[in-house]
Amino acid sequence: MATSVRPVAIVSGGSRGIGRAVVHRLARDGLDVAFCYRADRDAAARVVKEADEFGGRTLARQVDVADAAQVRDFVTAAEDALGPVRAVVTSAGITRDKPLAVMDDADWHAVLDTNLTGVYHLCRAAILSLIRQRGGCVVTMASIAGVHGSATQSNYSASKAGILGFTKALAKEYGRYGVRANAVAPGLIDTDMTGAMSDKARQQILSRVPLARFGTAAEVAALVSFLISDDARYLTGQVVGLDGGLVV
């Protein structure tokens, strides 16, 4: 197994949006980063190139996080190439918004499989490594939708609410090993996911945000960076909101 003086992080959903910003930020922080992405090979290659400029090593793999075997292979490849994983960031997520009354079963399962089961798969594949090191952390990307619910997003809200319970359970199970687990609950963040909203919808929601703007992926990544850092060494089992005051 390769060894590294730099801590190693694995990130799901690293080719776009918040995951991409997390890869950049952690590379800038001095970590070696392995990330997986679902489809966009060119975007992933750009992320690798950008992250490499910070002097560390970056590895990208195309993975469907809903597939346990693919995720296990990804984690094994990451550890073989970079060394034992110290931080796990789950950022892969999709939406299939519809009112429940007309939601297709496929839309329900696709969102739960990627957003929630994908988190299980990644953490399941990496947790023994953290236990053996007696330290490390997990940061899961939840959402205010998981805390408060969101209309036309019963599938997404359920998946994100599931992440909260999962994360708190991890915090309780593995605190004895010095492993921390926290969830981030972003509000409205400027990504391609929210970019699909109409201008009218954006303005309506913005009117409810005290800070009167969308957040940025870089701001979420900065919070992830803090949660991974030693400065957060007594912080575990928490859901940290980042929403410009939307739910105050």
Q: Whose CA is closest to 240, among 163, 134, 179? A: 163
Per DSSP, the three-state class of 168 is helix
Residue closer to another protein (CB basis): 132 or 213 = 132
Q: Whose CA is closest to 28, among 49, 61, 55, 58? A: 55
Residue closer to another protein (CB basis): 131 or 206 = 131
Q: Is 49 in the site for another protein (CB under 8 A)?
A: no
**Measured in Å, how far apart are the chain's first and last C-alpha atoms?**
48
Rounded least distance, CB 170 to another protein, Å: 12
Q: Which residues of 136-152 are buried (b: 16+ CB within 10 A; e: fewer)?
A: bbbbbbbbbbbbeebee
d(CA 25, CA 36): 16
Residues from 136 through 195 that contact another protein (CB under 8 A):
173, 176-177
Q: Which of 39, 100, 128, 247 binds another protein (CB under 8 A)?
A: 128
Catalytic residues: 156
Rounded least distance, CB 167 to another protein, Å: 17
Q: Whose CA is closest to 137, among 5, 75, 225? A: 225
Identify which range of 39-47, 124-132, 226-234, 237-245 contacts another protein by CB under 8 A: 124-132
> φ, ψ for residue 181 (rounded to 5)?
-140, 125
Rounded least distance, CB 22 to another protein, Å: 28
Identify which range of 75-83, 91-99, 100-108, 125-133 contacts another protein by CB under 8 A: 125-133
Find out whether 43 and 37 touch, Cβ atoms under 8 Å. Answer: yes
Q: Whose CA is closest to 56, among 77, 21, 81, 91? A: 81
* 98 CB-contact burial (10 Å; exposed 0-12 / middle 13-18 / buried 19+): middle
Residue closer to another protein (CB basis): 96 or 124 = 124
How many residues lie near another protein (CB under 8 A)?
A: 7
Q: Is 131 in the site for another protein (CB under 8 A)?
A: yes
Residue closer to another protein (CB basis): 80 or 173 = 173
Residue closer to another protein (CB basis): 64 or 79 = 79
Q: Which of 132, 151, 204, 245 binds another protein (CB under 8 A)?
A: 132
Rounded least distance, CB 11 to another protein, Å: 24
> Can you give the binding site for another protein, defined by CB under 8 A?
128, 131-132, 134, 173, 176-177
